[in-house]
Amino acid sequence: MGDEGSSRGADPSGLGTALFIALAVLAVAAFAITRAARAGDDLVNTVELSPQLEDGEASVEFTLAEPDGSVDVLIIDGNPDSDDEQVRALDLGADLPAGPQEYVWDGRADDGQPAPPGLYALRVILGDAGRDILPPGRIRIPEELP
């Protein structure tokens, strides 16, 4: 009687064990893929944007983890539901070393006109690395400049 009770619920085919191992392997693989994807975003880090245009300027600072010989540093439309359209090119095709990068945006569009009130974001395109990075953060141009 004791032997019958201990064999209940056992999986003689090992299907449950195989399923458990397969799920564990998939979970580890998913973690590794996610980690690898996030590591790529580490190419541009320590991003600091002025929260608002002040005295007609906003600072844009970031650090490149590796040098890149063809970097575009762009200010884009950062309003919700925007199409991320380029507003101003701060640098195009630049050969930048690894380390801190500093730019100043004067609040103007590529055509020289003042950008309208709203939110603006940074886009860094690393040509050699084949990466297009949109770091978090926004610069706000208020309705009325102080």
Q: What is the pLDDT of residue 1?
A: 52
- ∠ Cα 39 51 63 (to 5°): 30
Instruction: Report which of 74, 75, 48, 51 is spatially closest to residue 63, judged by C-alpha positions.
Output: 48
Instruction: Report which of 102, 78, 99 is spatially closest to residue 90, judged by C-alpha positions.
Output: 102
Mean pLDDT of 132-137: 92
- Tokens found for residue 4: 């019958």
pLDDT value at 131 more than 90? yes
Q: What rounded mean pLDDT belongs to the chain? A: 84
Non-local (6+) Cβ contacts of 115 within 8 A are 75, 87, 88, 107, 108, 109, 141
With H, G, I as helix, E, B as strand and everything else as coil, classify residue 131: strand
Q: What is the CA radius of gyration of the chain?
A: 25
Mean pLDDT of 95-124: 96
Note the Cα 61 to chain centre separation in Å: 15
Q: What is the pLDDT of residues 36-50, one digit of tens each?
A: 444 445 788 789 998
What percent of the chain lies above the pLDDT cut of 70? 79
- What distance in Å separates the CA atoms of residue 105 and residue 137, rounded to the nearest whole number? 15
What are the structural domains of the chain? 45-141 (2.60.40.4070)
| pLDDT confidence tier of residue 97, bands split at 50, 70 and 90 | very high
Q: How many CB atoms lie within 10 A of CB 135?
A: 17
Q: What is the pLDDT of residues 120-130, one digit of tens each?
A: 999 999 999 99
Mean pLDDT of 21-50: 66
Mean pLDDT of 89-95: 98
pLDDT value at 69 more than 70? yes
8 A C-beta contact, residue 125 and residue 74:
yes
Q: Which has more confidence, 51 or 46?
A: 51
| pLDDT confidence tier of residue 9, bands split at 50, 70 and 90 | low
